[in-house]
Amino acid sequence: MPLIEIISLNKIYDKTKVPVHALKDINLTIEKGEFVAIVGPSGSGKTTLLNMIGGLDSPTNGKVLINGINISKIKSDELIDFRLKNIGFVFQSFNLIPVLTAKENVEFIMLLQGVTKSEREKRTIELLNAVGLGDKIDSRPYELSGGQQQRVAVARAIASHPSFVLADEPTANLDSTSAEGLLDIMKELNQKLGMTFIFATHDNKVIRRVRRVITLEDGKIKSDVFQN
């Protein structure tokens, strides 16, 4: 069974006005352990597709199956719980909670999951060490660089043992050195832990690193290429 299976997926916005067909009959499968980028020009449907996979938006018609479960049929309160347990998110804008330390930001998802305090603390320290921030556990976001904040965001995304991580333009607000360092960490997590990463990106640094590039154009898959 594929990790993610998308079947005849369509998304139309403003159906009562001038319709915008953001996604058109998308069919796609992604297996566990993949390191894949969804690319294309602005307006091609990258973020819309990522939002569909993450259950942040619902299709006009078609199916998004995660581990065989059609998430578009899940009730909204159950979908929140499903996302919490199955999907990690890394956004362009970091989205850290400013009043919390790096440690508390990473712990937050596990706190919502009901993980015990001792287990939360152990995993948080392990993850912050893994992303090179073992000496920043008590720092708040404003005390960290953009690259360091995004590393905290990655640690938070994988803290809950998700089935996969969705990363929407994760390097867009980073300088080249910070972006390369972040991608090194993600690649290592993919290779060592089998963590599945799905990027929506314009960044050639990301595109060079991934093993599969799915190109969208006008809401359709233009190409789907595996690369070494």
* Rounded CA separation 225/45 (Å): 18
For 56, the token pair is: 């942040």
* pLDDT band at 18; cut points 50, 70, 90: confident
Encode pLDDT of 40-77 as tens digits. Answer: 998 999 999 999 999 999 999 999 999 999 998 999 88
Residue 208 pLDDT > 90:
yes
pLDDT for 111: 93
pLDDT for 94: 86
Instruction: For residue 42, give the CATH number of its domain.
Output: 3.40.50.300
Q: Which of 31-35, 80-84, 195-199 has the lowest mean pLDDT?
A: 80-84
Walk across the sheet containing 220-226 and list its strands: 87-90, 164-168, 197-200, 35-39, 212-217, 220-226
Residue 17 pLDDT > 80:
no
- Residue-number span of the structural domain to which 141 is assigned: 4-226
Encode pLDDT of 71-125 as tens digits. Answer: 989 998 899 999 999 999 998 888 999 999 999 999 998 998 999 999 999 999 9
pLDDT for 14: 82
Write down the pTM of the prediction: 0.94
Residue 170 pLDDT > 90:
yes
As a whole number, mean pLDDT of residues 175-189 equals 94
* Rounded CA separation 227/213 (Å): 8
* Rounded CA separation 39/170 (Å): 13
Residue 165 carries which DSSP code?
Answer: E
The count of structural domains within the chain is 1
% of the chain residues with pLDDT over 70: 99
pLDDT for 15: 67
Residue 128 pLDDT > 90:
yes
Residue 16 pLDDT > 80:
no
